[in-house]
DNA sequence: TTGTACGCGTTATCAG
DNA sequence: CTGATAACGCGTACAA
């Protein structure tokens, strides 16, 4: 009773007593078929549990129904939320996604992209590991449509979908400035990434326009540990700011951990604006004011963009910038009486 | 200069002046080829930037190098961390993953699984949306190897890789009991999931063995909002426990948020053991004691398990249970003087 | 509506 | 034992 091999289109044709072409036409719905025959085919399909082999279908038709997605890491909820948005968007149009991680490494990115391209995907979505975007050449050579998401490469020879980082930074600044903060510290992950630099440049501009001194910048690395220790080091040797802007989700956590260790209270001693909005921020003590990136939109728009190339044959370059929003919560407060003017004592 | 189509194996053969079979043999490495010819082939491959089409390769050879992965949600870092582990594991052996989300919905699970199976993957990894595991029939019919991860189905007719939920629960209990807690509340997401029930049964057993009264259970739902409000409601009408065990990451956050709102301090008023270990727990105030699930291991072992079926042709059922560990941090303290004996006032 | 060539890499078969 | 030729897997597309 077992040992039943997976049925092919021929066996369906045989059972329905039609040609394979007819079966294909019924299933693909691209040619009209007599209702009688169509019914017979559908019956046979159901009886056999037939499903077309996508590999074969893609091979013959040349039309792939798979999108390759390459992200720097699958352990960062920011990236996986974008993937969630992409999957949600493409799935409704019959596409599937092949996902790979470049592990924040340029060489791995190259290898994984190469593997992805061997599937001849209908399109590629990539979040590059860095600005240099070494993958560009490979993508151009592959001649498959692609869109760069979130991280912007130096050479803008591609469709890009990202947030407006300058605008996001300005939101954070205006909020702090409105609360009377003049002395602000910016905790960046790494200046090697263009969107981090864009956030910083937005902050600089906002403070210039408010006629305030430019904020100081700390480069704090990509992990919680480095972020936490770098900030502690900085605070030990500099005058304490009244407000801090953290430029990524990991630096946000690092800042909180560091301030806790130093016994500094948020927002009484220091106000904090975090980056990326996560559920835990609503449970933190205090709740964390944060810049919210529209992650689902990022994924959905990336697909909209890619889709235009795949299905509508668009060829002009497209550049999409989505706006972040500010989630005001408990970690930011007016500069005032409760602020202790003493600096951290570093023995 | 453009308009260069993707080269096929024939053009490589032509350029290297050998047959397509030889090219295939050189690239696949499954037949010995004279070094001279091999060199010529490799040269041509490099010159043309040739890469075999995986769809064609899979079609003819019948050996697929792709694993289908179906998870309940891509917005939950617990699931995506498992995916990270899977990707890491399979990637090193030349496999890619197709990822889909069932959106916590049985019907969507069915549809997505069906789509995944049409790729004729070498294997399937699935985290079912519920105990009934309706996907089982489809998977058995497909005759592709599969492994059920994390969520255990009622009918254990499949390889399973999951954590030892009873053991995890016991870790949490022993910790609280050692700190003198006798009055413990368990905040569960939903009793509909077998692993939640297993955790509860582990807790019950641990308290029985310690000759303590059985903990109370609150079913708090799957989102932060429900968790938070359910707990608040419970605390308003019941005597306050000295310790709380939260059984999922979302309930952990919900408990913290709820306690904050009620003005209860952790761990002075209530000790808390959370489930799942995330970076933010190290930055929370206080830092959160939590049960850490070995997420990377879950992915890696799931692959090890699937791999045995795919490549070694194993047929016996396998059941793997991994151990969680307890991360002791600041949210749990000895029951004692600082505990305020007054109950929450509910007006 | 159907017969069948085709896409492309693999493999069975056969020649050297 | 190496290498070439041709059949093949399966769904699609085009001519008939």
Mean pLDDT of the B111-132 span: 97
Strands B66-71 and B96-101: what pairing? Answer: parallel
Which numeric CATH code is attached to A1-50? Answer: 1.10.260.40
The pLDDT of residue B169 is 96
Residue of B nearest to A284 (CA): B284
Q: With bands split at pLDDT 50, 70 and 90, how would you rate the model's confidence at A75?
A: very high
Domain ranges of chain A: 1-50, 165-293
The pLDDT of residue B1 is 39
The overall average pLDDT reported for chain B is 93
Residues of B in contact with A83 (CB under 8 A): 74, 80, 99
Residues of A in contact with B101 (CB under 8 A): 84, 87-88, 91
Reported as a single tens digit per residue, the pLDDT across B70-115 is 999 999 999 999 999 999 999 999 999 999 999 999 999 999 999 9
The pLDDT of residue A235 is 95
Q: With bands split at pLDDT 50, 70 and 90, how would you rate the model's confidence at B264?
A: very high
- From the Cβ of A31, is strand C under 7 Å away? yes
Distance CA B114, CA B168 (A): 34
The least confident of A71-85, A228-242, B180-194, B330-344 is B330-344
Reported as a single tens digit per residue, the pLDDT across B153-184 is 988 889 999 999 999 999 999 999 999 999 99
The pLDDT of residue A4 is 63
Tell which of B96, B228, B276, B283 to mutate to test the A interface (max A CBs under 10 Å).
B283
pLDDT at position A59 over 70? yes
> Which is higher by pLDDT, B100 or A31?
B100
Please provide the DSSP assignment of A101-144 as one string. Answer: E-TT-HHHHHHHHHHHHTT--SEEEE--SSTT-THHHHHHHHT-
- From the Cβ of A32, is strand C under 7 Å away? yes
The pLDDT of residue A30 is 86
pLDDT at position A344 over 60? no
pLDDT at position A25 over 60? yes
Straight-line distance from CA B290 to C1' D9, in Å? Answer: 52
Mean pLDDT of the A319-343 span: 82
What is the number of residues in chain B?
Answer: 347
pLDDT at position A2 over 50? no
Q: With bands split at pLDDT 50, 70 and 90, how would you rate the model's confidence at A156?
A: confident
Question: Does A89 touch chain B if contact means CB atoms closer than 8 Å?
Answer: no
Q: Which of A243, A162, A168, A174 is nearest to A199 (CA)?
A: A168
The pLDDT of residue A336 is 75
The strand pairing partners of A125, in sequence order, are A69, A147
The pLDDT of residue B342 is 44
- From the Cβ of B19, is strand D under 7 Å away? yes
Mean pLDDT of the B300-322 span: 96
Q: With bands split at pLDDT 50, 70 and 90, how would you rate the model's confidence at A224?
A: confident
The pLDDT of residue B2 is 42
Quote the minimal CA–CA distance from A209 to chain B in Å: 34
What tokens appear for A158 in the block? 């591609």
Domains A1-50 and A165-293 share a fold: no
Distance CA B216, CA B187 (A): 9
Tell which of B279, B294, B297, B300 to mutate to test the A interface (max A CBs under 10 Å).
B279
In angstroms, the first-to-last Cα distance of chain A is 80
Helix runs in A17-105, H state only: 20-28, 35-48, 54-61, 77-91
Q: Which CATH class is domain B165-293?
A: alpha beta
């Amino acid at each position: 009773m077992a040992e039943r091999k997976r049925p092919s289109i021929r066996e369906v044709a045989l059972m329905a007593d039609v040609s394979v072409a007819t079966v294909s036409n019924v299933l693909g719905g691209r040619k009209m078929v007599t209702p009688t025959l169509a019914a017979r085919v559908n019956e046979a399909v159901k009886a056999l549990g037939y499903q077309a082999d996508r590999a074969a279908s893609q091979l013959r038709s040349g039309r792939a129904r798979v999108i390759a997605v390459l992200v720097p890491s699958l352990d960062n909820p920011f990236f996986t939320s974008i993937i969630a948005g992409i999957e949600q968007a493409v799935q409704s149009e019959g596409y599937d996604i092949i996902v790979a991680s470049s592990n924040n490494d340029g060489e791995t990115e190259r290898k994984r992209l190469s593997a992805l391209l061997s599937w001849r995907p209908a399109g590629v979505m990539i979040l590059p590991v860095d600005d240099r975007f070494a993958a560009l050449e490979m993508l151009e050579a592959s001649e498959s449509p692609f869109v760069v998401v979130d991280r912007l490469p130096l050479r803008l020879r591609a469709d890009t979908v990202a947030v407006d980082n300058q605008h996001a930074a300005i939101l954070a600044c205006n909020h702090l400035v409105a609360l009377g903060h003049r002395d602000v510290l910016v905790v960046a992950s790494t200046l090697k990434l263009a969107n981090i630099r864009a956030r910083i440049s937005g902050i600089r501009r906002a403070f210039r326009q408010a006629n305030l001194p430019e904020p100081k910048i700390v480069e704090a690395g990509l992990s919680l540990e480095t972020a936490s220790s770098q900030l502690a080091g900085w605070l030990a040797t500099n005058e304490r700011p009244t407000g801090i802007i953290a430029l990524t989700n990991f630096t946000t956590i690092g800042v909180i951990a560091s301030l806790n260790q130093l016994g500094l209270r948020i927002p009484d001693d220091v106000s904090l604006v975090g980056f990326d909005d996560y559920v835990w921020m609503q449970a933190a003590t205090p709740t964390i004011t944060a810049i919210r990136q529209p992650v689902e939109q990022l994924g959905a728009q990336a697909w909209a963009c890619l889709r235009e190339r795949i299905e509508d044959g668009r060829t002009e370059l497209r550049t999409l910038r989505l706006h972040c929003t500010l989630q005001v919560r408990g970690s930011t407060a007016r500069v005032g009486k409760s602020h202790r003017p003493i600096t951290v004592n570093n023995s």
